[in-house]
């Protein structure tokens, strides 16, 4: 039986999109549309939108996240934002180690690890992203890459410290490309992640760990993905920016015609 700790989570990742006015509109649509969703819902918004979206989501079950943070609490770190600042602005969650951060901004597994520590200390819910590139997959290195990212990113914690952590499996070749991993490919990777976490932190921890899939999740493919036993939710980029699509995704498995 699936652990009750693995409540499904559908999280939107707005990336670097939307004006404040558009953010307010979209957050309002998500808030108004979340009733009856089978799991938890979150939106991860640009830093500049955190406090305004927090006002919109006040009193609603929709969780608010940011997309990155810096590990120091404060100081001369021009351009950076700390975990405490995110909490102060109203965030409850944060994405860490997204492949765009890793690829474009040089985030290493060590940086992910430090950011994770800071997020946990601030009682944020970290969504730690892992995933292989197309080349790594073609060279049969997917499992090796996932293992390295998990071992490096989650290093040095006790299982109890990590109870709030969510992992997102995001194959880089599926992000923003319209190319989704097949449900079987996703399941295979999720099972590997769960087994690796069992080895690192024990069966009990792994059994309660939420593992999201990300990479071109859409209204049309979410149900088949969510039917896989080790998928506990989705991290949605492009289709989280369209209220209608995101609402259908957060209501995965809804009968046709329903929201």
Least distance (Å) between residue 211 CB and ligand PGA:
14
Which has the closest alpha carbon to 15: 74, 99, 141, 114?
A: 99
Which of these segments, 113-121, 168-176, 198-206, 248-256, binds ligand PGA (CB under 6 A)?
Answer: 168-176
Cβ pair 175, 130 in contact under 8 A: no
Q: How far is Cα 75 from Cα 145, in angstroms, rounded to an integer?
A: 34
Both tokens of 13, joined, read: 């990742």
Interacting span for ligand PGA (CB under 6 A) from 75-83, 155-163, 212-220, 221-229: 212-220
The CA distance from 154 to 160, in Å, is 12
Interface residue with ligand PGA among 13, 67, 113, 245 (CB under 6 A) is 13
User: Does residue 235 belong to the site contacting ligand PGA (CB under 6 A)?
Assistant: yes
Indicate which single residue of 87, 118, 236, 247 sits in contact with ligand PGA (rule: CB under 6 A). Answer: 236
Is residue 215 near ligand PGA by the rule CB under 6 A? Answer: yes
End-to-end CA distance of the chain: 28
Is 98 one of the catalytic residues?
yes
What CA–CA distance (Å, rounded) separates 62 from 154?
26
Known catalytic residue at 151: no
Name the one range near ligand PGA by CB under 6 A: 22-30, 142-150, 188-196, 208-216.
208-216
CA nearest to 259, candidates 239, 241, 244, 242: 244
The residue sitting closest to ligand PGA, measured at its beta carbon, is: 237
- Provide the annotated active-site residues: 98, 170
């Amino acid at each position: 039986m699936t652990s009750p700790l693995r409540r499904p989570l559908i999280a939107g990742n707005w990336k670097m999109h939307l004006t404040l006015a558009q953010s307010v509109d979209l957050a309002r649509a998500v808030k108004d549309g979340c009733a009856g969703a089978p799991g938890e819902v979150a939106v991860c918004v640009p830093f500049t939108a955190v406090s305004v979206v927090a006002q919109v989501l006040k009193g609603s079950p929709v969780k608010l996240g940011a997309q990155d943070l810096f590990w120091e609490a404060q100081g001369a770190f021009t351009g950076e934002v700390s975990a405490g600042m995110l909490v102060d602005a109203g965030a409850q969650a944060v994405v860490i180690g997204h492949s765009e951060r890793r690829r474009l901004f040089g985030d290493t597994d060590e940086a992910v690890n430090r950011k994770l520590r800071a997020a946990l200390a601030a009682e944020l819910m970290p969504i730690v992203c892992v995933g292989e590139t197309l080349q790594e997959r073609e060279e049969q290195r997917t499992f090796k890459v996932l293992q390295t990212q998990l071992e490096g990113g989650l290093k040095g914690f006790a299982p109890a410290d990590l109870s709030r952590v969510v992992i997102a499996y995001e194959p880089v070749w599926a992000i923003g490309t319209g190319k989704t991993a097949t449900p079987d490919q996703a399941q295979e990777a999720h099972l590997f992640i769960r087994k690796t976490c069992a080895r690192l932190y024990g069966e009990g921890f792994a059994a309660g760990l939420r593992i999201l899939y990300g990479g071109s999740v859409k209204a049309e493919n979410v149900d088949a993905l969510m039917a896989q036993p080790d998928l506990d939710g989705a991290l949605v980029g492009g289709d989280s920016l369209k209220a209608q699509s995101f609402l259908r995704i957060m209501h995965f498995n809804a009968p046709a015609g329903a929201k």
